[in-house]
Structure 1
């Protein structure tokens, strides 16, 4: 995992660990991360969206560079 999203991932895990989904229902973090309010707090939902957007953005880094045409010079 890239370090730029790692902090968000840790914040999300911390937030989820305080929810009833994890504490009371004893469900896995990954499962709880997919839930919506009221199962998890709106804060956790916001962190999840921010984290997913961060990861999605990393997947696109450099894509434009490799899609550009290559120009060959035959001298």
Structure 2
């Protein structure tokens, strides 16, 4: 989960799936792939770098499912995933 420095701090982005996107971004930026190897988060995901934790790949899949549920008409009745 995203950690904030202040108690009442919130994301500026209020769009759907923004929380998952922020968690994925922070997970990738804190990985060894971005810090040590100086790759972009996108390059780390595409190359399936072994230094990226499995949690980041789980977040990536969750983010994909959340975005896909926005296009799925059935989700209007069930609600968005990951929200």
Q: TM-score range by the shorter chain?
A: 0.5 to 0.7
Residue from 6, 15, 30 that aligns with 1:3? 15
* Structure 1 residues 40 and 47, CA gap change in structure 2 (3 angstroms): same
Segments of structure 2 that go 5 or more residues without pairing to the other structure are 1-12, 75-83
Q: C-alpha root-mean-square deviation of aligned residues, in Å? A: 2.2
1:27 and 2:17 matched = no
More helix by share: 1
CA offsets 1:3-55 (integer angstroms, 9 cap, x no match): 22111000000000111111011111112233436231011111011001111
Q: Which entry has the higher C-alpha Rg, 1 or 2?
A: 1
**Length, aligned pairs only:** 62
8 A contact 2:24–2:59 mirrored in 1: yes
What TM-score do you get using the length of structure 2 for normalisation? 0.62
What TM-score do you get using the length of structure 1 for normalisation? 0.68
Segments of structure 1 that go 5 or more residues without pairing to the other structure are 65-75
**Partner-residue secondary structure (3-state), 2:33:** helix
